[in-house]
Amino acid sequence: MTTFSQALRQLMDEQGVGVRALARQVPCDPGHISHLRNGRKRTSEETATRIDEILGADGRLVALVQTTAEDAGRASSVDCGRVHGSDLDEDDEMQRRRLLQALATLGAASSPAVEAIEHIRDGVDRSIGRDESSLLDEWEETVAEYGYSYILLPPHLLLRDLAADLVAVQRITGRHAGERLPWYRVTGGLAALMAKTLCNLQQPRLARDWWVTAQHAADASRDLDLGLWIRGEQLVHGLYEGRPTAILLRKADRAVGGAPNTVCRGLLHVRTVRAQLLAMEGASGEAAAELRECEEIFNRLPASVTGEVRSIAGWAEDRLRYTEAWVHAHAGDRARLDPAVSRAREILPADDPRVGVQLDLLRAAGHVRAGDTTEGVRHAHAVYEAQPDEHRTVMVTSLARQVADAVPAASRTQPVVAGYRELLASGERRAIT
């Protein structure tokens, strides 16, 4: 009976299709096609279907693979193990090629030269006994470094590096079936950063799927702090995207209720967002009470967490003062708003490209709600106009719009207000570039 390799060789010869040309269309490594052609490897039904389509074999190659699989099922357990392993290797190779093509589309480094250099380094690492399990600490550090990069880099630049690292971690995690929990933690952190970056690029639908992935990875890692932090981040972005506060509040309540007697960065994050949501609902008394609870949790956190001002991975005092400013801004309480903003400004690094602007816009909105419409709108106009386009994230723009929304109906025809609304309307939807 004709075998898959014989049929493949015949079809390729008849059509004049070379090994490399076929590999490019599958896509897969040319060496893999060579092994299939010479009968040194068995293929999966998925790959056989793809090759069958390319060569126009009308299902002949797929049928041969199915017959081979039935024969393999009747073979010895040792032989079955070998076939199964080959199929896994092949599927992994196809997945790798697809991921590299996706990275190329995003503009991330995935050229043949870069791939070759990475392959050489992998070989050198193996020769000196450095396996992937020893890289976990380095990947944990990579996630921490992204906590700094997220603050300083424009989102469209961050996106590409995150995509490349998520591909690398996916492959490593797939090869560590017995010790995946710490790799799930790394994946959860990177996936959450990807979701945040997509939110900043005004891509909420894409971000939504990444939030689900991040939460699943965090929960699978059994890291309660990371899981709560991701829930808090998702709530924050839902708040700035204008999702219904009642729905977000229910999610915040469930998260807090699922972590009784817990003191950690993640819980503090969820509770500060809850305070912001309560303020937006007009429940200023409840928001103030929640702020006091947040102060207590903050004071019980270790200095290693509260001292991280430049990273989203930490939880420094500027974030607490930001929440305080938010609550007082929505209440129109200038007496408490201005000191909160000033204190946050003192802690915040001077070169922070976004949070300082957000604080200024919060102050402007609070002043408008307190009755100082002209001065509040003028300040917001100057701040938002000076902000570089690449740092006009969804958070910055959302706060800028809050200033306009706070203007009383009777004052919306004033020239200063009309000019500010024109500035907001001139912004274009940001694409992934």
Query: Residue ranges of the domains in the chain?
Result: 4-110
The CATH number of 4-110, from 1.10.520.10, 3.40.50.300, 1.10.260.40, 3.40.50.2300, is 1.10.260.40
Confidence category of residue 201, pLDDT binned at 50, 70, 90 = confident
CA distance 86 to 62: 17
Distance CA 170, CA 173 (A): 5
- How distant, in Å, are the alpha carbons of 70, 81, 223 from that of 75? 9, 10, 44
pLDDT at 329 over 50: yes
pLDDT tens digits for 339-352? 999 999 998 887 78
**Token duo for residue 41:** 């490897």
Mean pLDDT of 117-124: 61
E-assigned strand segments in 376-429: none
pLDDT at 87 over 50: no
Position 119 pLDDT exceeds 50: yes
Which residue, 1, 52, 44, is CA-closest to 22?
52
Q: Band the pLDDT of 80: cuts 50, 70, 90.
A: very low
Which one is predicted more confidently, 74 or 182?
182
Residue 253: its pLDDT value, please?
Answer: 95
Give the pLDDT of residue 100. Answer: 54
Give the per-residue pLDDT at 86.
Answer: 42
Give the percent of the chain with pLDDT over 70: 81
Pick the range with the lowest mean pLDDT from 75-79, 149-153, 354-358: 75-79
Does residue 129 or residue 33 have the better pLDDT?
33
If we measure between CA atoms, which residue out of 313, 317, 316, 395 comes closest to residue 354? 395
- Taking residues 9-36, report their average pLDDT: 83
Name the packing angle between helices 355-369 and 394-406 (round to 10°): 10
- Span 363-386, mean pLDDT? 95
Q: What is the mean pLDDT of residues 200-215?
A: 90
Residue with the larger pLDDT of the pair 53 and 147? 53
Rounded Cα gap, residues 226 and 7, in angstroms: 52
Distance CA(257)–CA(265), nearest Å, equals 16
The answer to whether residue 57 scores a pLDDT higher than 50 is yes
pLDDT at 78: 34
> What is the torsional sign of CA 422, 358, 158, 99?
negative
User: Is 61 buried (19+), middle (13-18) or exposed (0-12) by CB count in 10 A?
Assistant: buried
Q: Which amino acid is at 146?
A: Y
pLDDT at 215 exceeding the cut of 90: yes
Q: Which of 90, 97, 17, 95 is nearest to 52 (CA)?
A: 17
Note the pLDDT of residue 79: 37
d(CA 403, CA 332): 12
Instruction: Report the chain's mean pLDDT, rounded to a whole number.
Output: 82
Lowest model confidence (mean pLDDT) among 16-20, 171-175, 213-217, 313-317: 171-175
Distance of CA 27 to the CA centre of its chain: 27
Stretch 45-52: mean pLDDT: 87
pLDDT band at 392 (very low <50, low <70, confident <90, very high): confident
Contacts of 217 (CB under 8 A, 6+ apart): 184, 185, 187, 188, 191
Is the per-residue pLDDT at 374 higher than 70? Answer: yes
Residue 69 binned pLDDT confidence (cut-offs 50, 70, 90): low
Overall average pLDDT of the 225-246 stretch: 92
